[in-house]
Structure formats: structure tokens, C-alpha cells
């Protein structure tokens, strides 16, 4: 996931540091993720067995405070708190997550329950975003109530929601988070985020969930048409407008 804070004086534009925050899932490293050129400030949550893992890096030219808020390496969850961004009405709390596809039912429910509690705590502090590979298929099932003043959500992935998807929808209903995929300009309908080894997959399983205060600031969400090198998932970019 690539996050761009539009209108921020600390944004470089093109080239190194063009994105303010770069988040990664399935890093598959046992220690800390290596630094990236232009993104020396980074945090990671690697699993002890080296499987999965998540990480996030902040652009060097971004003049703000960037702190680890919570960290659950074995659960594939890393929370970051970004403070002092000119134009944002509050601190930004970002959860970078990887939810394995083989997670058993009881463990899946526990994983979501813990995240629900963390999101509620984070919302009392600032703006909240949850991003990552959740291996969840939600189709166009509602993530809120019918009377909400939010754009409808459409998806190119019409497969029946799986257990992970139903739990992600429960997360949304419990916390007020809303799915950006298929709702924000640039991704209507939601484009596949996993193409598979053959490159022709249609699964939307990587998500950007936004709190009600942050959703109106989200200007666009765009999904890369091709997977990143060596993988079968497509990167996506979220643009946030600053005032």
C-alpha cells in the first residue's frame, strides 16, 4: 500500500520519497525489514518463523512524528501513529495487517475481536486506517447500514464471501470502518488485488478500511494492473487530501 498525503509541504513529488508511507505484507523476513532508499524510518513486525510479516516505512522528507503504537508480530499486525501532519485534523493511526488464508475459525474470530478492540481504542485517539492482505472476499455485501450517506460499493469480484470476508464485514459493522475498495474514485468497481500465478485472477482480498472521519478525505484509490515483481498481489495507492 502506498499512501500519498496530497497538499503536504513535506511531499517530494516524483522519484524517491514520492509516497509518504509505504506498507508491506508477507515480508517473509525473520528480523527487521531492511531500510528503503528515501524511506529510512521504518517499523516491522516479523514472525519468529519468518512466515508472513508486515512492515511500513515513512518517507524521509515527511516532517512528522512516526511512532510504533502497537505491535503483534505473531498475529501479523503493526500499528503506527503519525502525528504532526499539517492539514490533518488529528493524528493518523494505521494498522498494517496480514491475515493468513488458513486461519482456523476460532482463531479467525479471536483475531477480528482483538482488532475490533484496537480500532475502538485508536478511534478515541485520532483518524484510523486498516490496510493489508486480509484474504477476505466480501463481494458487494454491505459494510454499513442502508441509511448511511456514503457512496455505494461495487466490486469486480463477485465470488461468494468467504469466512474471512464475513469477519471483515463484522469488523466494519462493529467499528464504523468502511471499505475503500470499490467505493473511492479510481477503484469503481473494486479491481482485483490478487491475480494468481496465471495473472488472470479476479480476487479482491487486499483492503483499505477507513474510519468515518477519514473517508471524506480519501480522494482516490488505485490498484496496479499487474502484480509486483515476484508476487501475485497488486499494490494499491491511496491519496488523502489535506486541508
Q: Give the chain's domains with CATH numbers.
A: 2-241 (3.60.10.10)
Output the pTM of the full model. 0.92
- What is residue 176's predicted lDDT score, i.e. its pLDDT? 97
Query: What pLDDT, on a 0 to 100 scale, did the predictor assign at position 16?
Result: 37
Predicted local confidence at residue 200, as pLDDT: 63
Q: pLDDT at position 19, please?
A: 85
105 vs 37: CA distance, rounded Å = 40
pLDDT on residue 10: 38
Mean pLDDT in consecutive groups of 10 residues from the start of the chain, 243 residues:
66 50 89 82 88 90 91 95 93 97 95 98 98 96 91 93 98 98 96 78 93 96 85 91 82
Q: Which of 150, 219, 212 is nearest to 185 (CA)?
A: 219
Amino acid at each position: 500500500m502506498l499512501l500519498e498525503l496530497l497538499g503536504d509541504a513535506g511531499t517530494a513529488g516524483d522519484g524517491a520519497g514520492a509516497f509518504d508511507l509505504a506498507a508491506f505484507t508477507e515480508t517473509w523476513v525473520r528480523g527487521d525489514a531492511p531500510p528503503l532508499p528515501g524511506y529510512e524510518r521504518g517499523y516491522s513486525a516479523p514472525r519468529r518463523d519468518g512466515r508472513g510479516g508486515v512492515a511500513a516505512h515513512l518517507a524521509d522528507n515527511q516532517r512528522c512524528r512516526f511512532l510504533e503504537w502497537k505491535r503483534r508480530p505473531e498475529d501479523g499486525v503493526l500499528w503506527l501513529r503519525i502525528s504532526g501532519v499539517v492539514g490533518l485534523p488529528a493524528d493518523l493511526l494505521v494498522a498494517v495487517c496480514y491475515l493468513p488464508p488458513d486461519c482456523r475459525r476460532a482463531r479467525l474470530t479471536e483475531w477480528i475481536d482483538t482488532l475490533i478492540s484496537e480500532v475502538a481504542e485508536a478511534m478515541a485517539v485520532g483518524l484510523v486506517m486498516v490496510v493489508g492482505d486480509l484474504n477476505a472476499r466480501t463481494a458487494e455485501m454491505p459494510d454499513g447500514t442502508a441509511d448511511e450517506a456514503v457512496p455505494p460499493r461495487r466490486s469486480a469480484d463477485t465470488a461468494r464471501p468467504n469466512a474471512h470476508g464475513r469477519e471483515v464485514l463484522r469488523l466494519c459493522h462493529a467499528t464504523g470502518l468502511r471499505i475503500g475498495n470499490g467505493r473511492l474514485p479510481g477503484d469503481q468497481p473494486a479491481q482485483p488485488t490478487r491475480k494468481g500465478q496465471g495473472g488472470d485472477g479476479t480476487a479482491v482480498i487486499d483492503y483499505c478500511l477507513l474510519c468515518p472521519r477519514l473517508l471524506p478525505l480519501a480522494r482516490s484509490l488505485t490498484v496496479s494492473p499487474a502484480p509486483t515483481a515476484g508476487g501475485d498481489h497488486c499494490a494499491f495507492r491511496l491519496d488523502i487530501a489535506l486541508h
